[in-house]
Structure 1
Amino acid sequence: MLRGLYGAAAGMVAQQQRQEMLTNNLANVQTPGFKADRSTMRSFPNMLMAAMNVNSGPINQHQILGELSTGVYLQEQVPNFRQGDLEETGLFTDVALLQGVMPETENGQPGALFYSVQAEDGEARYTRNGQFTVDGEGMLTTAGGHLVLDTDGQAINVGGPEFTVNGNGVIVNAQGDIAGQLGVVYIENSLDLIREGSGLLSYQGADALPQAVGLDGVTYQIHQGFVEKSNVDPTQTMTEMMNAYRSFESNQRVLQAYDQSLQKAVNEIGRLG
């Protein structure tokens, strides 16, 4: 009976964690460049059940009854880096990254492209949020104030909010001078990226990520005046949230049933003894 309690409680915890993930996805449905998380469930190792002393005799014998499930848990949450739809804003500082052809990787999944920005610690971070702005010194930054980097890893001085960006990411300021080229990096395995909040991702690999410009098999386009919308599907997310809630309730009822059975065993059966 106690194992049933543990299994039901484990299912409740797993569905609660899944619900929190889906709630975060839904909360960011309007966040430019946001990539929805996906969860994977996994069961704990099953236990082999057997009936002991099924036959009389000098040697204890047992009969295999089958396996007993011991519950499930949320194994991991992985982001889905599928391309989001583009939305026109008409703002010079908004630039959307549209992925083109991506080379096939060893795991069968396509790679991904990201803008390079500079975090507070001076290290590079990566984002798909192209809703940029210009600070008081004329530097191109993210909405969170992080400097946008060029293909050489340097901050880009655009001078003011009126600049143009071509399809390759080359920026020309209001005076007609080239201010730099947006640093777009390619990562072969996007699962190596770690969320850090504010739409930023960090890479823990030993080697620096290569620039996508001129990289064999990689194509992309920069669209000025557009932003990449979140790839969260609100209708599907709401449906998954309701399913998670129903699963949580089902496990809760099982847990209550076990609790009532234990209460009777302790208070009533024990009293008769």
Structure 2
Amino acid sequence: MQTGYYSSAAGMVTQFNRLDTIANNLANVNTNGYKEDNLIIGDFMRLYQQKRDELPNENNTKEAAKFLNRTMTKAPQVVDEYTNFSVGNLQKTSNPLDVALSRENLFFAVKTPEGVRLTRDGSFSLDDEGKLVTKQGYEVLGDDYFKSKEGISFSTVDSVIDIDKNGQIYTNVPGSVTLTQNKKLFIANVDNLRYLKKEGDNLYRLDDMKRLEISEESGAVNQGFLEKSNVNAVKMMTQLIETNRLVGMYQKAMDTQMNEMNRDAIEKIAKKV
């Protein structure tokens, strides 16, 4: 009986973790460039398939059967977590400083107090010094940052800002509509997205940022657009309802187990008396 109680409690804790993930996704449903997080819950079959070749007992024996029966009483648990990096919908804003990326393995590079970080949020603006910055005030970096150590700046006479599909920035010659080449956006190409680690402010980091590969000809930069969150609100609400119901089921199972334990204890005490 105690095994069932502890299994139900462990299952409830797993669902609480899932609730936290779903709530965070829903909270960021309107965050530009946000990527949905997901948990993988391991049931008995998943755990068994992973470990069946490592069983301590020979197959088709009583000992193996007992081992499997004990294993089946184990509660569901979080066995993995991952981020869905699929591209969100691109929303047209016609703002020349809004930029979206149409490939999932590309990121903008920005300078933070903790070092270089990556982001998918291309809602940029100019600060008082004419520097291109994010909503949080982080400098947006050019592809020559590791040499120049400088971000991207504009002068007060730059009335036209044009960004091509590869991130090359053009500004107008003062007093004319002729465009001249400015800096180029640092478009980082990440081969293995599982190496990315989420931080606050919609940022990502790699353990070694200097090993980032710059995408020179990405063809994925869209000026005047913003990438919206890829969170499916309807799916998240469905999962939220499902998870709440599972929590309720585990609660009932725990109550039943506790009531049975209390009844058994009372009956045993009564017999001794």
Q: TM-score range by the shorter chain?
A: 0.7 to 0.9
Alpha-carbon distance in structure 1 between the residues aligned to 2:244 and 2:271: 40
Per-residue deviation, 1:43: 4.5
Aligned position for 1:88: 92
| Aligned 8 A contact 2:98 2:123 in 1 | yes
Which residue identity does 1:91 align to in structure 2? N
**Match 1:149 to one of 137, 141, 144:** 141
Going from structure 1 to structure 2, the CA distance change for 1:269 and 1:157 (only over 3 Å counts) comes to: same
Per-residue deviation, 1:178: 2.7
Which residue identity does 1:172 align to in structure 2? Y
Matched, 1:115 2:117: no
Per-residue deviation, 1:76: 2.9
| Aligned 8 A contact 1:33 1:231 in 2 | yes
Matched, 1:164 2:162: yes
Alpha-carbon distance in structure 1 between the residues aligned to 2:154 and 2:124: 12
Which residue identity does 2:134 align to in structure 1? T
Larger CA deviation: 190-199 vs 260-269: 260-269
Matched, 1:98 2:96: no
Aligned position for 1:236: 235
* Helix, strand or coil at the partner of 2:110: strand
Per-residue deviation, 1:271: 2.5
Aligned position for 1:12: 12
Per-residue deviation, 1:64: 4.6
Alpha-carbon distance in structure 1 between the residues aligned to 2:268 and 2:129: 79
* Helix, strand or coil at the partner of 2:38: strand
Matched, 1:79 2:83: yes
Per-residue deviation, 1:225: 1.2
Matched, 1:185 2:184: no
* Helix, strand or coil at the partner of 1:173: strand
Per-residue deviation, 1:202: 0.4
CA RMSD of aligned residues (A): 2.3
Alpha-carbon distance in structure 2 between the residues aligned to 1:208 and 1:63: 49
**Match 1:196 to one of 178, 199, 205:** 199
Alpha-carbon distance in structure 1 between the residues aligned to 2:253 and 2:219: 52
Alpha-carbon distance in structure 2 between the residues aligned to 1:62 and 1:43: 22
Alpha-carbon distance in structure 2 between the residues aligned to 1:202 and 1:129: 14
Alpha-carbon distance in structure 1 between the residues aligned to 2:64 and 2:132: 72
| Aligned 8 A contact 1:150 1:183 in 2 | yes
Larger CA deviation: 165-174 vs 18-27: 165-174
Larger CA deviation: 75-84 vs 173-182: 173-182
- Which structure: greater helix fraction? 2
What stretches of structure 2 of length at least 5 have no aligned partner? 49-54, 56-61, 174-178
| Aligned 8 A contact 2:102 2:221 in 1 | yes
TM-score by length of 1: 0.82
| Aligned 8 A contact 1:192 1:205 in 2 | no
Per-residue deviation, 1:16: 0.8
| Aligned 8 A contact 1:157 1:179 in 2 | no
Corresponding pairs, count:
244
Which residue identity does 1:67 align to in structure 2? N
Alpha-carbon distance in structure 2 between the residues aligned to 1:261 and 1:40: 32
Going from structure 1 to structure 2, the CA distance change for 1:262 and 1:192 (only over 3 Å counts) comes to: same
| Aligned 8 A contact 1:35 1:232 in 2 | yes
* Helix, strand or coil at the partner of 2:26: helix
Aligned position for 1:258: 257
| Aligned 8 A contact 1:28 1:230 in 2 | yes
Aligned position for 2:171: 173
Aligned pairs (5 A) from 1:50-89:
64=65, 67-68=69-70, 69-89=73-93
Q: Deviations over 1:191-231 (max 9, x none)?
A: 100011111000014861110114xxxx4321111100110
Per-residue deviation, 1:256: 0.8
Alpha-carbon distance in structure 2 between the residues aligned to 1:141 and 1:151: 15
